[in-house]
Amino acid sequence: MIRRTVQIENKLGLHARAAAKLVKLTCQFDSDIKLARQDTQQQVDGKSILGILLLAAAQGTKIQFVIKGSDEEKAMKAIVTLVKERFGEAK
């Protein structure tokens, strides 16, 4: 199991389009992927768009990813890259 905390940097936060991109990515991996807001500890399934939207993660929110499974390293790398690249949105 691996954990990593990242900050949501894109202007609109983890909104519908960004959440859809995240779910599309996480569903490509066999590992169990969980997300949790660092401030509230609210945890959701990383493969559930509704769960991710319920986090209401605005710009600046810190999210901890917890990944467990056979492809956890590969999944974490891909997820962190997506978040760091602001889900493909402009600054």
Active site residues: 15
Distance CA 55, CA 42 (A): 7
**CB atoms closer than 10 angstroms to residue 16:** 11
Question: Is residue 2 within 8 Å of 72, Cβ to Cβ?
Answer: yes
